[in-house]
Structure 1
Amino acid sequence: MLWRMRALMLLTGVFCMLYFGLQPLMELYEEKPVVAAPEEVVFINTSECHVSGPRKPAAYFMAIEPVCRLRCHMPQLIIAKTQGGSNFLVGNGVAEDLQCRYWLKSAGDLRSRKYLPDGHFDMRNGAMEEIRVGTGHQIVRIKCSNQSNETRYHDVHYFLPPPPEVQSKATSSPEKMSVIVLGIDSVSHMHFMRYFPLVKAFLENQPHTKFFGYSRVGLDAYANLVPFLSGLSSRDLQSKEGTWLFQNFKAGGYSTAYGEDRPRDIFADRKGGWTPPRQLADFDLTPVMVEMETHTRYSIDLKERILCSAGRTFQEVLGDFVLKLVPHMQQGPFFSFFWQSQGVEEYYEYASHLDLSYMLLLKSLLDANVLNNTLLLLMSDHGLRAGNYRSSFQGMREESQPLLVAMYPEWLKQQYPMAMENLEKNAHSLITPYDLHETLRDVISLGEMQDAHIEVRRNNLLSCPKKKIPRAVSLFLPVPDHRTCDLAHIPSLFCFCRELTEVPTDDGLVLRCSRFLVESINKLVKPFGRCRRLRLKMVLLAHFLDFGEESFVYELRLRVRTVPGNGEFEATVRLSDAILLTSPISRVNHYLAQSHCLSDPDFKIFCFCM
């Protein structure tokens, strides 16, 4: 009996020793309560508008084809470089003997179809030969064939030699500050937050401000970039004489550059007597993209929206153009506008392809000391405009919440404290492309950002009657807290300051307004005579827009489907003595070849060709 008691006491002691001895170690590995990240992101927080949204995306269907497989499948057998004042083509992994022919365009002929006399050269298996093709600013197209006369390589290269003497003029506080616009089409702010972790991490180590309240004012890139680059709406530009920022910066002593990753720029096929912005630039990538489109391009996706030339996507060609400009940016003040649209316009997940390339591009600009005297805008025009994700309620909201981030050197905050304090405080204000235009006009004349000037301009702005504040407010000034979508010239369809209340789609008033919407589309395309008359098939969504208890305005946001063609369209309709459209009409599904008989981009979205 005694031995049993002793054994029990021993076991109890061992248990206590093990339990209390190991308890600190157990606590070390014990799961701790983690402070959860906020589920909501605040976009706008003013007295007149509060907009927030979920941090996680809404459910959506995957793309028809895996975007991870969308890679150029042709080899990049030749690279181009400029050395010692001459332009060279260099072999890169050539696995067989090739006979090559090339065609040159010089700086004066870039926009024409005129070629210099062509040339020939041979590339031997495994050789790293350097073929001199000329000097200066040139475009060269190369086509190489093997012994069986099979084409093995067809590509276009662009030579942009550095200035004669490259030396950085960046100082701690230059007299003029450069501007770089890096635009990515169809990327909402939350889309960026989800798919660009590397760029986000890079930004966290640089002075920057994210503008959560940036809103679009038009349907497409054209309607949002015209206000940004000219200060006018796209409609006003047809009747008024505007001045592009390219002209303003050139008058201020800046060099300028324009680049897109497609051959037809944003402003192509638009009516007006104005000169397209790219033709005002000192350096323009468009002739290179046109040459690729004409001779060497091939598509890598089913929709034929993502293009390659040899082993490079058109987006990579645009990135290379930016890097070729770095020595010129180091020479003096520079205004450059770059815009990417391929891939991101069509595929929600394609943004994940871009994160690394944009982070490396920003790092290259940082390492080259370009960002030390540059205001860089990383921005978009709107969120995704069509597809499964866009059809969700969250996707509908994000379409009107484009990306906008401003990066700037640290010295700017020290030299212009009041202006930069206002800029950072505007992070959750309701702002538009008109405001960006006014902001960049201030950058041309840095004297306008001195505290004394800012104080005077601030007082003048705050003294304006509530309903007469200007359409465009520089972000170096405090954007008025009482600003509304109407005061900011944001159409109802793009404004989420007003609460949306879902209403039954079979309501009599909803059906009446939906038929009016479809009839409005028919009136738009009737003059063309080549489009089928549309009929209302069904009302997909209907929301009542809340204007407040004191308002007698009754407005509906509608999404309808029409036949033939199953087009899906959205607009806002106001009911008063008559039914009125209060916004542009947006198409929210793809129309592909349905509108082949029209070329006007303003009307293609509505037309089902006969």
Structure 2
Amino acid sequence: MKRMKGFICMTAPSLLWCFRKIVLRRNQLLCLLMIFGFCYFLMRPVDVIDPEDYPFNDLDLEDFLVDTNHCKILDFEPDDPEVMCHFERVTYKPCKPYPPFTTTHYNATTQRYVLNINASDPTNSMSCCYMGVERVNEMHVSYTPCVKFKSGTQLANTTESVIVKCRTEGVQVYINGHPTIPERSAVRQRLKHWAQKDRGKRVPSVLMIGIDSISRVNLIRAMPKTAQYLYDNDWFEMAGYNKVDDNTFPNLMALLVGYNLSTVMKHCNPYEISGLDKCDFIWKLFQKHGYVTAYGEDAVEINTFNYMKRGFQHPPVDYYMRPYLFAAEKLLEGTNVKGMPHCVGYATEAEHVYNYAQEFAKRYHNDSFFGFFWTNTHSHSDISQTSSMDEYLRDYMQQLVAQGTMENSIVVFFSDHGLRFGPTRSTWSGHMEERLPFLFIWLPEFLRNGNPEFEESMRLNYNRLTTPYDLHLTLKHILSLTGRAGSLEDLGGAKDCPQCQSLLLPVPLSRSCEDVAIEDHWCTCWPYERVYKNSKVVQQMAEHVVQYLNDYVKSFRQGSLAYLCQPLTLLSMSEAYKAYLMDMYPSNIEIYRLIFYTNPNKALYEATVRFNDLLPDNESLSVTGSVSRLNEYNGEADCLEDFTIKKYCYCKNTLL
């Protein structure tokens, strides 16, 4: 591990003196005692940086993902021993040792899907039927009567997905599901109307493929073949992509709507019926300007817009995958891994989403489409599990190329944040990884050739601080390029980040976290020095944070839920750090990161506190961002259904 230059400079005269004495073979014992003293100085708990854990001053340029006067983001090695001791590569295993008995394919001539029974399988003694899945609302589906068929049958275009059952001698021997992208006259008319307006102009489609809880570093660690494929095939990476909030929902809302969590609650509250329907999602903007839209996400219980939320009153896009997966999770044979749905019928649930995305892109290859697809199941709960999908996703990208998707589509491959829980989260690498998701963008050749400045900007932005708000504006920029929606200015900015911008333009070198709506708690632009965790100042700050949490719970929703929760008290300090701030910050500002335990829930929290020496004592401390919960809290807050305060509440009935 690298040492601090400052420490070397401080000790150099004494060590030089000692060296001379040793050379002269005098006072050797005294020199050894001095060396021992310096070692003790390094290890004692005082307010100085710990060079073993937090190297900064001795780093070279290549040790930074971003290196400007306003932001320095450290680059961590994927094989960090602290993390690798918790990582174990997982082998991909097919859900079934044999292929499914039934398949579907789209017949372009009849413009209908055909459901087939594999010809090689015996069907004389087997009776098969299919039933359509129909959405009732976010939490309910219904099924059409089961229609018998023999070797094959055409599906009606009113049928979006089917469940197939086969029986032999009265015993069910087969069940599987097939989601489809049926032809719709209203969608086709929309596509034709805008294509006529284009007058032959080439319009790019957008395909977004996101994975929950994978940092940039863990993508390289767990899926090296996928990452190498992206690097080898000239995808553009944003290595300084920094999340803006704690979990999936607010980070995706920044991307899809341009709102922070506070603004979402005001304008399209997800806890109210039809609340989310009021949001100006980016897919609505694309749909309004002639695109066909789709959205699919696995793990229906924890879907981004449904977990402890009301979801959508009406389907948010033209092709909405949730009803099918709701039925598939319930009816098809399945398995769980790490508490998450894994196999659903003949494929993992993530593969259902990826296959649906591929089919959507294939069906509308010659049209303008916007597809948003998100998976949780192979990444949400464990740092290792996603490694099982490495070869699959590498091959998947190659399949998109083979079917021609990349020729006319901008493809965004991204995540929302790194792993938020577990043993790796308590490491320094884990702290940074949680805040630094991955972002890769593919630009088709015709767009690169026609706009070489885009390629130049994307390469330049590789080592600059970027956010989900920037990605939101990039999508609007793409839409503006079509000529269908006016200029980028006409489409409006990201409401809660006025200084954010499209990634197709050069990002300013002078960017800081404050410039782009990243609060101190989520900012990765500065390293931290370890400070004495039991000092009076640190204890006072920790007490302030605990009181902040209690006040937050008391005031949440006008105090209507406070009676359910036991007040917290400070149990003990785990660690404390002080930020090594850039020169741009005034000397009266100090930022601290505190990790501490509370009673009665034995919770491990991480908070960032800003100290302003110019303010009165009662105003000098402020908690920035939300306070992170680093250990799990299943069963502690079951009296609540609001994810916002669950991690801060220890239900009173839990004490009984």
Same fold judged by TM-score > 0.5?
A: yes
Task: State the 1:514 CA deviation.
Answer: 1.6
Contact 1:40 1:52 in 2 (8 A): no
Quickly say closer, same or farther: Cα 1:313–1:95, change in 2 above 3 A: farther
In structure 2, distance between residues paired with 1:512 and 1:238: 32
Matching residue within 242, 261, 264 for 2:298: 261
Could you give the per-residue CA deviations for residues 188-222 of structure 1, whole angstroms, max 9, x where no partner exists? 11111222232233324433211111100010111
In structure 1, distance between residues paired with 2:477 and 2:209: 19
What SS does the aligned partner of 1:584 have?
strand
Q: Name the structure 2 match of 1:156.
A: 177
Q: Indicate yes or no: 2:586 matched with 1:564.
A: no
What SS does the aligned partner of 2:300 have?
coil
Structure 2: where are the runs of 5+ without partners? Answer: 1-59, 269-278, 555-559
Task: State the 1:444 CA deviation.
Answer: 0.5
What SS does the aligned partner of 1:248 have?
helix
Matching residue within 363, 370, 386 for 1:335: 370
Q: Name the structure 2 match of 1:589.
A: 631
In structure 2, distance between residues paired with 1:379 and 1:107: 29
Matches within 5 A, 1:172-321: 174-240=201-267, 242-264=279-301, 265-269=303-307, 279-296=315-332, 298-301=334-337, 303-321=338-356
In structure 1, distance between residues paired with 2:94 and 2:601: 32
Q: Name the structure 2 match of 1:465.
A: none
In structure 2, distance between residues paired with 1:183 and 1:491: 24
In structure 1, distance between residues paired with 2:540 and 2:136: 59
Contact 2:637 2:646 in 1 (8 A): yes
What SS does the aligned partner of 2:206 have?
strand
Q: Name the structure 1 match of 2:523.
A: 495
Contact 1:238 1:271 in 2 (8 A): no
Q: Indicate yes or no: 2:549 matched with 1:515.
A: no
What SS does the aligned partner of 1:583 have?
strand
For these two proteins, the number of residue pairs brought into alignment is 546
Quickly say closer, same or farther: Cα 1:514–1:148, change in 2 above 3 A: farther
Task: State the 1:291 CA deviation.
Answer: 1.0
Q: Indicate yes or no: 2:153 matched with 1:132.
A: yes
Matching residue within 72, 91, 103 for 1:50: 72
Q: Name the structure 1 match of 2:431.
A: 396
Quickly say closer, same or farther: Cα 1:201–1:555, change in 2 above 3 A: closer
Task: State the 1:384 CA deviation.
Answer: 0.9
In structure 2, distance between residues paired with 1:50 and 1:366: 36
Structure 1: where are the runs of 5+ without partners? Answer: 1-37, 122-128, 462-467
Could you give the per-residue CA deviations for residues 496-530 of structure 1, whole angstroms, max 9, x where no partner exists? 21231111211122122222222333334454233
Matches within 5 A, 1:32-181: 41-58=63-80, 59-60=82-83, 67-68=90-91, 72=95, 77-82=100-105, 84=107, 85-91=112-118, 102-105=130-133, 113-120=141-148, 130-132=151-153, 134-136=155-157, 137-144=159-166, 147=169, 149=171, 152-161=173-182, 174-181=201-208
Structure 1 counterpart of 2:476, one-letter code: R
In structure 2, distance between residues paired with 1:313 and 1:469: 38
Quickly say closer, same or farther: Cα 1:110–1:238, change in 2 above 3 A: closer
In structure 2, distance between residues paired with 1:556 and 1:271: 33
Task: State the 1:437 CA deviation.
Answer: 0.9
Could you give the per-residue CA deviations for residues 570-599 of structure 1, whole angstroms, max 9, x where no partner exists? 111123433321121111222233333322
Quickly say closer, same or farther: Cα 1:77–1:419, change in 2 above 3 A: closer
Q: Name the structure 2 match of 1:10.
A: none
Matching residue within 366, 384, 396 for 1:349: 384
Task: State the 1:74 CA deviation.
Answer: 8.7
In structure 1, distance between residues paired with 2:155 and 2:244: 46
Contact 1:573 1:581 in 2 (8 A): yes
Contact 1:77 1:92 in 2 (8 A): no
Could you give the per-residue CA deviations for residues 137-188 of structure 1, whole angstroms, max 9, x where no partner exists? 3322234556584x544433223346899x9x9x9x9532111111011111
Could you give the per-residue CA deviations for residues 267-308 of structure 1, whole angstroms, max 9, x where no partner exists? 225669x958x832111111111112333363332x421332
Matches within 5 A, 1:462-477: 470-477=498-505
Q: Name the structure 2 match of 1:7.
A: none
Out of 215-224 and 413-422, give the one that drifted further. 413-422
Q: Name the structure 2 match of 1:27.
A: none
Q: Name the structure 2 match of 1:602.
A: 644
What SS does the aligned partner of 1:306 have?
strand
What SS does the aligned partner of 1:182 have?
strand
Matches within 5 A, 1:353-502: 353-446=388-481, 470-502=498-530
Q: Name the structure 2 match of 1:30.
A: none
Task: State the 1:333 CA deviation.
Answer: 0.9
State, as a whole percentage, how many aligned pairs show the same letter: 25
Matching residue within 538, 547, 564 for 2:581: 547
Quickly say closer, same or farther: Cα 1:425–1:86, change in 2 above 3 A: closer
Task: State the 1:78 CA deviation.
Answer: 2.9
What SS does the aligned partner of 1:175 have?
coil
What SS does the aligned partner of 2:359 have?
helix
Task: State the 1:335 CA deviation.
Answer: 0.8
Q: Indicate yes or no: 2:570 matched with 1:531.
A: no
In structure 1, distance between residues paired with 2:376 and 2:162: 25
Quickly say closer, same or farther: Cα 1:296–1:238, change in 2 above 3 A: same
In structure 1, distance between residues paired with 2:417 and 2:265: 22
Task: State the 1:371 CA deviation.
Answer: 0.8
Structure 1 counterpart of 2:344, one-letter code: S
What SS does the aligned partner of 1:60 have?
helix
What SS does the aligned partner of 1:602 have?
helix
Structure 2 counterpart of 1:564, one-letter code: P
Contact 2:215 2:437 in 1 (8 A): yes
What SS does the aligned partner of 2:357 have?
helix
Contact 2:92 2:389 in 1 (8 A): no
Task: Compute the TM-score of the two structures, normalised by the length of structure 1.
Answer: 0.80
Structure 2 counterpart of 1:556, one-letter code: Y
Task: State the 1:400 CA deviation.
Answer: 0.8
Quickly say closer, same or farther: Cα 1:60–1:422, change in 2 above 3 A: closer
Quickly say closer, same or farther: Cα 1:83–1:373, change in 2 above 3 A: closer
Task: State the 1:120 CA deviation.
Answer: 4.8
Task: Compute the TM-score of the two structures, normalised by the length of structure 2.
Answer: 0.75
Task: State the 1:101 CA deviation.
Answer: 5.5
Contact 2:163 2:177 in 1 (8 A): yes
Out of 571-580 and 256-265, give the one that drifted further. 571-580
What SS does the aligned partner of 2:411 have?
strand
In structure 1, distance between residues paired with 2:535 and 2:224: 45
Coordinate RMSD, CA, aligned: 3.6
Could you give the per-residue CA deviations for residues 525-550 of structure 1, whole angstroms, max 9, x where no partner exists? 45423333333222212111233564
What SS does the aligned partner of 2:241 have?
coil
In structure 2, distance between residues paired with 1:534 and 1:198: 46
Structure 2 counterpart of 1:494, one-letter code: W
